[in-house]
A and B are shown apart, each in its own frame.
Chain A
């Protein structure tokens, strides 16, 4: 068993046109920068991307949108991206907007081997259209299915050759859930430590969920909204 690959190009070598991808991250925080760059370089097209957001014009999934590689986005919020808006209005891009908790829990269900979940989010709204509604204890819930993604691309802080992952701060977000949900999960990490280099107590995602791992490089870690206060 060797999960370690040299670089992003090798990690994504079998991602082909038309597949369904999950991409971790919230805004630009904790996104798989190296894997995205490799996908742009490879030029695969007609991708369905499940990701909370769609990046900004010149970073994150925005880079794939620029190259017209994305057929469909499944997200909860897609602001801050003019090219996205242009493709959506021109009909080049399909978008499915779903509540953020539903998005997270549909990933979780896939990783936990459950076909579906019931959630109250969206009950009584247009999100409920066409969905099965069940009433539990006087409250309506929607049946939402687990995602079925071909590949999950995630970014972690530290990982080891067994694929065990540890995330940092709010860069965790959707990454562990997607790591658990992909049929093939590709993890890029800031630091790949030797076997035994991680404390088992501190692991967020056990390696059984991770198929390929590599140490990424040149992380830009762009900040979307830089907010600061003056020293008091």
Chain B
């Protein structure tokens, strides 16, 4: 049994360190905000121009002028700040944001990522994803290990159009935690009850398994 999306987010939340500025993408990454460990203070950046993103507003207090990059109504916190889109991507480009978490359709063993375009389908655009992956110093991909057809999303080379090259450092899927190293995907942890054999079977890129692989811990 693999992890649920919430559990993937919960595992990623363990990577957060006190004082981090963090950008969370749409989908599973957004859920990470629900599992920030106690005693760890992080500042969430929303690339439409906000540092210090708070929770959704109490019903009746929505403000059309206050949204996140997913266009959801949100709130500010004590210490929040607003800025324009150029400054927002300026701080991303300048490496001020400590951690970026985003979803992916494919990741290659070189750390290339594809997550914006499927040839033959309506292309909606890359939004801020290309800017984020090109500049963030620490990127974690949150995704399912295989696509809905059961094919591996961890590949020797991406088959879809790229969003960025050699930029992904870590991947958390429903069955494994892996580092992207110069030699391939290094298996660090497996989901409770998932065997190394199953992870090998579902990883089409080069997988490095050294020693005993522990199960993920959630507390």
Which of B1-9, B11-19, B82-90 sits within the interface?
A: B82-90
Taken together as a complex, chains A and B put the C-alpha atoms of A75 and B126 apart, in Å, by 9
Please name all residues of chain A whose beta carbon is closer than 8 Å to the beta carbon of B89 when the two chains form the complex: 100-101, 104-105
Which of B117-125, B147-155, B175-183, B195-203 sits within the interface?
A: B117-125
Q: A26-B67, A104-B85, A225-B67 known; A78 and B124 CB under 8 Å? A: yes
| B residues 134-168 in Cβ contact with A at 8 Å | 134-135, 161-166
Q: Are B85 and A177 in contact (CB under 8 A)?
A: yes
- Where chain B touches its partner, the secondary structure class is loop
Please name all residues of chain B whose beta carbon is closer than 8 Å to the beta carbon of A88 when the two chains form the complex: 122
Interface centre among B49, B56, B85, B122 (most CB of A within 10 A): B85
Q: Are B131 and A101 in contact (CB under 8 A)?
A: yes
Q: Are A29 and B48 in contact (CB under 8 A)?
A: yes
Please name all residues of chain A whose beta carbon is closer than 8 Å to the beta carbon of B131 when the two chains form the complex: 99-102, 119, 121
Query: Quick one: closest A residue to B76, CB to CB?
Result: A169
Which of B57-65, B185-193, B210-218 sits within the interface?
A: B57-65
Q: Are A169 and B63 in contact (CB under 8 A)?
A: yes
Taking the nearest CB of chain B, how far is it from the CB of A227, in angstroms?
A: 4
Please name all residues of chain A whose beta carbon is closer than 8 Å to the beta carbon of B83 when the two chains form the complex: 172
Q: Are B85 and A173 in contact (CB under 8 A)?
A: yes
Q: Are B126 and A170 in contact (CB under 8 A)?
A: no
Q: Are B65 and A104 in contact (CB under 8 A)?
A: no
Q: A77-B125, A97-B125 known; A123 and B165 CB under 8 Å? A: yes
- Write out, one digit per residue, whether chain A residues 116-136 have a CB within 8 A of any chain B CB (1) or not (0): 000111111111000000000
Please name all residues of chain B whose beta carbon is closer than 8 Å to the beta carbon of A120 when the two chains form the complex: 93, 134-135
Q: Are B58 and A221 in contact (CB under 8 A)?
A: no
Cβ of A89 under 8 Å from chain B? yes
Q: A79-B124, A108-B86, A170-B50 known; A29 and B165 CB under 8 Å? A: no
Q: Are B46 and A170 in contact (CB under 8 A)?
A: yes
Query: Quick one: closest B residue to A220, CB to CB?
Result: B64
Interface centre among B127, B161, B165 (most CB of A within 10 A): B127
**B residues bordering A, Cβ < 8 Å?**
46-50, 55-74, 76, 82-86, 88-90, 92-93, 112, 122-131, 134-135, 161-166
Can you report 10 residue pairs joining A to B where beta carbons are below 8 Å apart?
A: A79-B125, A105-B90, A123-B164, A125-B130, A170-B68, A173-B84, A223-B67, A225-B73, A228-B73, A229-B59
